Structure 1
Amino acid sequence: MQVEDLEKVSLALQENAKDFIEKGLSYIIEDELKDYKYSLLHIFSGTLLFLKDVLYKEHWSFLFQDIDKAKKSDLLENKIISVNFTTLLFRLENLSDVKLEKELKDDLQWMQKERNKIEHFYNPINHHEVRSRIASLLGNLISFINDLHKSDPDFDFDNDYDYRHKYQSLFEVLQKYSLMFETYIEKRSLRIKKDLEACDLVIHCPLCKQKTLEIKIDDGLTICHFCLSEHTTDMFYDKYNHISLDPEFYMDDSNKCPKCWSNKLYENTYEVICFYCFERYEHSELSNCYRCDTLIHESLSGYCESCWEDIMSD
């Protein structure tokens, strides 16, 4: 089997996983109660395909339920009895470096039981429970992919920070639907509440629009606790400082921070932040000097300090 063939199997698993999960999430967003069972079935199947690809990346033979009968030719010809649910979780935890958090395993085990009931018995669905569980799974999958990304030996933060590169399309789907899923937003917000309370500097994230993006000044990093996007502070500023979130407030490139005179000012919806000294200003606190147009902070006279001194000396 050529390397290209192995990659094709992996890509197929990834694409199918994304499609199943996306379809399942669309049922939840549409909120047709009769379709909740299809949401559960699709999301569970997609998640298993995703985890099988994670296992497959460890070694192709791990996909076979009976490793002793594993043949590459059977894999390519789809003549394979693949790992069952129990074996899949066991191999992920014991034959790879992957860590499955208890919360993720609990979600998966619940979904497996519900899937079996749907497929084999009459199963009246508790729709509130389905939404809650899927919301929990959504958050746990995002965290799991994020952890996989960081533990990858090929990870290069400077050049690969936007998406978790090996599962980019799935990560995008999870992020997209999480912002349309009220139950997820509520659960995620509750889960990260304590983390946010311990942060010194938190602003609105330009990606998920939640006030959950922490600026770690000492580390030179930004991390959104809601959508898990990460950047260095320089990367973040370079990428997002041109986005005008408030059309009524315009900052010219010549404007400088009133405290440190740096021109690294970032315009957020509710405030302005200097990405050099990390001073924060509310929009209402800033204005431009009547005389030289320099950005000034809470000036009663309407003039910058230099211009005011010139005026007073005349």
Structure 2
Amino acid sequence: MELQLNVLDNGLDFINKCLYELEDSTDHAPSIKYAVLHLNAGIELIFKARLSNDHWAFVFEDLNKAKYDSYIEGDFKSINLDTALSRLQHICKISISEQFISSIDRLKKTRNRIEHFQINENHYQLRAIIYDSLSYIVPFINREFPKIYGNSTFNEISKLLHSQENYLCERYKRIKNELTSNHSFKIDCPQCNQEHTLDVDEEICIFCNYGGNLAINDFIYKYADLDKEAGTFTYKEFDSLKYCPFCHNESLIISSSEEYCKCLTCKTQFEKEKFLECEYCKQVDILIDEDTGENGEIIESGYYCYHCLMGD
């Protein structure tokens, strides 16, 4: 039986192992030591995987000695954590905050004491260091590996983390200012299930960094009742899903309690009373004056598009 893991999967496996050791550490103190070691190893591998996405040679300590055959065989001296961070920032031009760097540095120094000398740390301090680093590396993975959501190990990591109160608290501490200072329209994230963290205008979850059209589509799929008639949608005060009269995508959600509609694709928001739908063909339109839409008119019993009116 062979063990085959690429660099990314290898890193994820180490992080996953760290989380299980965190659970065990409440009853078995030495487990916290291995949680630190495995998290540090996992983060280093994640950084190397991201560097390799830009070019395989970036993981060689000496770029002048980079050979593809050596890379494939794994027979070379690779970069350390500090060099990986530097190359991510200065070669790949990836934004990494000073807080993220400081967090990784604390983890690295703790790991060095454990592996190369001795350890005399408070159990709760070690857990705090671990959760602090996790609160940065998991969103980094979400952001830098867009196809990660089909990865079973990563999904297991997310599930484990989102059930742990310490991680949630640490992560919310990191994003508090961003959540409160940003007043854009936010919905629940379909990936991490945190409430009001998916910024629709920016198409990014502030909590987990899940984003893009995939996040919006997943949200719609999650709350649209596909077993019922078209347009059936249940999410908080929103109870209808319609085609948008501006971008023509089926992504316009209509509030039952507030007087507005919001398109999750083109981001247009307008008064609910201006939304028109043909009584016959269900073509959508926008009210431009008292009884006229751009492509139809309101006649006694309701709105009718010109195509249906001329057909009659």
**Is TM more than 0.5 here?**
yes
Aligned to 1:122: 118
Deviation of 1:42 (Å): 0.3
Deviation of 1:132 (Å): 1.9
Aligned to 2:208: 227
TM-score by length of 1: 0.65
Correspondence for 2:136 among 121, 140, 146:
140
Residue 227 and residue 99 in structure 1: after superposition, are their counterparts in 2 closer, same or farther (change >3 A)? closer
Aligned to 1:176: 159
Correspondence for 1:186 among 129, 150, 169:
169
Matched ranges for 1:1-314 at <5 A: 12-30=6-24, 31=26, 32-149=28-145, 164-165=146-147, 168-169=150-151, 171-197=154-180, 198-199=182-183, 201-214=185-198, 216=200, 219=201, 223-230=204-211, 231=213, 236-242=219-225, 253=228, 263-268=231-236, 271-275=237-241, 276=252, 278-281=254-257
Q: Report the RMSD for the aligned CA atoms in angstroms.
A: 3.2
Q: Is the 8 A contact 2:15 2:42 kept in 1?
A: yes
Q: Is the 8 A contact 1:212 1:225 kept in 2?
A: no
Deviation of 1:61 (Å): 2.0
Deviation of 1:85 (Å): 2.5
Cα distance in 1, alignment partners of residues 30 and 76 from structure 2: 34
TM-score by length of 2: 0.65
Secondary structure of the residue that 1:265 maps to in structure 2? strand
Once the two structures are aligned, what percentage of the paired residues are identical?
A: 30
Cα distance in 2, alignment partners of residues 196 and 145 from structure 1: 20
Cα distance in 2, alignment partners of residues 51 and 130 from structure 1: 22
Q: Is the 8 A contact 2:225 2:233 kept in 1?
A: no
Aligned to 2:296: none
Cα distance in 2, alignment partners of residues 103 and 112 from structure 1: 14
Q: Is the 8 A contact 1:142 1:171 kept in 2?
A: no
Secondary structure of the residue that 1:79 maps to in structure 2? coil
Residue 237 and residue 40 in structure 1: after superposition, are their counterparts in 2 closer, same or farther (change >3 A)? same
Deviation of 1:208 (Å): 3.5
Q: Is the 8 A contact 1:29 1:181 kept in 2?
A: no
Aligned residues: 240
Q: Is the 8 A contact 1:20 1:46 kept in 2?
A: yes
Gaps of 5+ in 2: 242-251, 259-300, 302-312
